[in-house]
Each structure stands twice: as C-alpha cells, then as structure tokens.
Amino acid sequence: MYWAQIVAFYVRQGDASGATIAVSLIPTIDRLMPELPEVETTVNGIRPFAEGRSVAGVIVRQRQLRWPVSRGLSQKLSGKVIQSVRRRAKYIMFEFERGTLLIHLGMSGRLRVVPSTTPIEKHDHVDLLLDDGHCVRFKDPRRFGSVTWVSGDPLVSQYLYHLGPEPLVDDFDGQYLYTKARGRRTAVKNFIMDGRIVVGVGNIYASEALFRSGIRPTRAAGRIALERYSLLVIAIQSVLGEAIAAGGTTLRDYSRVTGEPGYFEQALKVYARQGQPCEVCGDLINRKVIGQRASYYCPSCQH
C-alpha cells in the first residue's frame, strides 16, 4: 500500500516517468526505509528533549511532502505543551492537550534535536521550535514522509484506524496470526508485512524472523500450523526487541536522532546475504523477490 501511495505522489505531480522509476526501484529502495526499530529509536531519543516543553513556533520550508504539511501549525501549536511523544506503527506522535502532530519518516526522513540556531541544510523541511532554544528538525531528501495535524483522536483518524496490533504487545500471539491466516494463500512474508495484520514488521525484520522460526517466506500463510505461528511471533518480538536495543539497523539513509548509526545490521543472518553460507547449516542463502520486495532465506533451515 505504501508503494501505491508513492506512485500516486508522482502521478499527482504529473511525473509519469517518476512513477515508472518508482515501480522499477521498489526492490532496491525498500531496504532504505526506516522500520519499526528505527522509528522507536527516534522516539526514545527525542522524548527526553521534547516532553514537557512548550512549542515556540513551527517553521515550514517545504510543504509538498507525501501529503501537504498541515497549514497553520505555528498558530495552532505556539505556547502549547508537548504532553508525550510516542509511536504507533511507523508514525511518531507528538501529543498535545487537544490534538496530535503525526510525523511519518517515509523512506529517508530523519528527526533530530538540534539548537535552533543550527545552520539549515538541504532537505531540512520542518522545524518544531521548543522553548529552550532547541528544535526538532525534520529532514527528508525524498519527501515521502509527512507532517500532519490531527485535531481528534489520532487512533481513529484516516492514518491509523485501519492498522493491526503492535507486534510487541501481549495480545499479539500465535493464536492471533493463526486465526487471521485461515484460508489465505498469500506468502507468509507478505502476510506478516501487511500493516492491517500487524504493524511494523518491515522487510528486513520479516526475513530475519522467518529465518529464526524456520519458516520459508514463500509458504502460504494459511498452510502454517498454530505451533509454527507461535514460534514466529517469538521470533518477530525478539528480532524487533534486539534491533531496538541496538538502535536500529544501519542502512544508507538511517541514523539515530543523535546522528550516530544503529548497529543491528551486524546481527543479520539472512538479509542481503545471498550467496553467503548460512551460519547454522552452511548452505548458501537464497534471494527471491516476493511481492516486489527482495526476500532472503536458507533453503535448508527454512521449510
């Protein structure tokens, strides 16, 4: 669904060639997108600097992102206190007493806390000015992120209402996945990456979790037993938890809110390791495109 929105972005701009290029680059660009651990790391980094602070203003330098930046943000937010900063799926939520600022990092977006006097760099599109002289700065070279104001409950807004459960909560378990998978012929990797089923299991972590649970990514979701789904949930939660603890996965466009890279890439067992020996059995890691995304698996360990 996200890629359909990217193509639609180019279509709205009247750029047919851009839309064609976006479709052709899906397998390559997909690995650049911040996933749940990267977003959680960003939230954890920003929270101590932003919660409890008043907004001194909002500067918008580029309004044309994935969706146009909401108008009147400076008037709406000036003098208002940031009650909390948290995550839902890949959205970062700055919650105020009345309303929420939703930020999505898209493919290449970054949020950093810097002194407000820090020189502006190319692609620094939005500054959320704080009352202590710092600002939360949003940089997005590809402009597929978003900065949107929601006046009501964000969880029932058009952005969040359709989303599945968080993968790190108790309600997300093997029985849930098993029930949702009944009768589905789609590949299990696509199934667990569907945000309507569960949020935040992106391409990298889906490949790694399926490897840990011994499930081949091409297997039909409806043909997997309850016991195996229970193992898969444990794998998803452990992979994501370890990645959050490590600060995310170092990709070409991602770094922490401090500017430092994450380090989980060093722990990847199959992702982007095609042709290399499996660390468990020694067989060579295979690569296959599933649902327009590159998938990696061990043909011996995963069935």
Number of domains forming the structure of the chain: 2
* Confidence band, pLDDT 50/70/90 cuts, at residue 245: confident
Here the CATH number for the domain that contains residue 242 is 1.10.8.50
Measured CA to CA, the distance from residue 140 to residue 65 in angstroms comes to 9
Is-contact 133 116, C-beta < 8 A? yes
Q: Quick one: DSSP state of residue 154? A: G
Q: What are phi and psi of 117, to 5 degrees?
A: -85, 0
Kindly report, residue by residue over 129-154, the tens digit of the pLDDT.
999 999 999 999 999 999 999 999 99
Q: Is the residue at 138 inside a domain?
A: yes
**Which of 303, 291, 273, 254 has the alpha carbon at shortest distance from 208?**
273
Residue 34 annotated as catalytic:
yes
- Stretch 161-179: mean pLDDT: 96
Per annotation, catalytic residue among 31, 35, 110, 216: 35
Measured CA to CA, the distance from residue 104 to residue 145 in angstroms comes to 5
Q: For the CA atoms of the chain, what is the radius of gyration? A: 20
Q: How many residues are there in the chain?
A: 303
| SS3 per residue for the chain | CHHHHHHHHHHHCCCHHHHHHHHHCHHHHHHHCCCHHHHHHHHHHHHHHHCCCEEEEEEECCCECCCECCCCHHHHHCCCECCEEEEECCEEEEEECCEEEEEECCCCCEEEEEECCCCCCCCEEEEEEECCCEEEEEECCCCCCEEEEECCCHHHCCCCCCCCCCCCCCCCCHHHHHHHHCCCCCEHHHHHHCCCCCCCCCHHHHHHHHHHHCCCCCCEHHHCCHHHHHHHHHHHHHHHHHHHHHCCCCCCCCCCCCCCCCCHHHHCCCCCCCCCECCCCCCECEEEEECCEEEEECCCCCC
* pLDDT confidence of residue 267: 81
Instruction: Work out whether strand 110-115 and strand 293-297 pair parallel, antiparallel, or are unpaired.
Output: unpaired
* pLDDT confidence of residue 35: 85
Q: Is the residue at 7 inside a domain?
A: no
Would you say residue 217 has pLDDT above 90?
Answer: yes
* pLDDT confidence of residue 18: 53
Per annotation, catalytic residue among 139, 189, 212, 293: 293
* Domain ranges, residue 195: 174-297
The answer to whether residues 40 and 95 belong to one domain is: yes
Kindly report, residue by residue over 66-94, the tens digit of the pLDDT.
999 999 999 999 999 999 999 999 999 99
Q: Is the residue at 1 inside a domain?
A: no
Q: Please count the other Cβ atoms lying within 10 Å of the Cβ belonging to residue 162.
A: 9
* Confidence band, pLDDT 50/70/90 cuts, at residue 252: very low
The answer to whether residues 88 and 118 belong to one domain is: yes
Measured CA to CA, the distance from residue 191 to residue 222 in angstroms comes to 10
The answer to whether residues 145 and 37 belong to one domain is: yes
The answer to whether residues 242 and 144 belong to one domain is: no
Average pLDDT of the chain?
88
Q: Quick one: DSSP state of residue 293? A: E
Q: Is the residue at 282 inside a domain?
A: yes
The answer to whether residues 186 and 151 belong to one domain is: no
Per annotation, catalytic residue among 31, 34, 110, 208: 34
- Stretch 144-172: mean pLDDT: 95
Final residue in a domain of this structure, among 156, 191, 215? 156
Per annotation, catalytic residue among 76, 90, 228, 273: 90
The neighbouring-strand residues paired with 294 are: 289
Residue 293 annotated as catalytic:
yes
Which tops the pLDDT comparison, 216 or 258? 216
Residue 90 annotated as catalytic:
yes
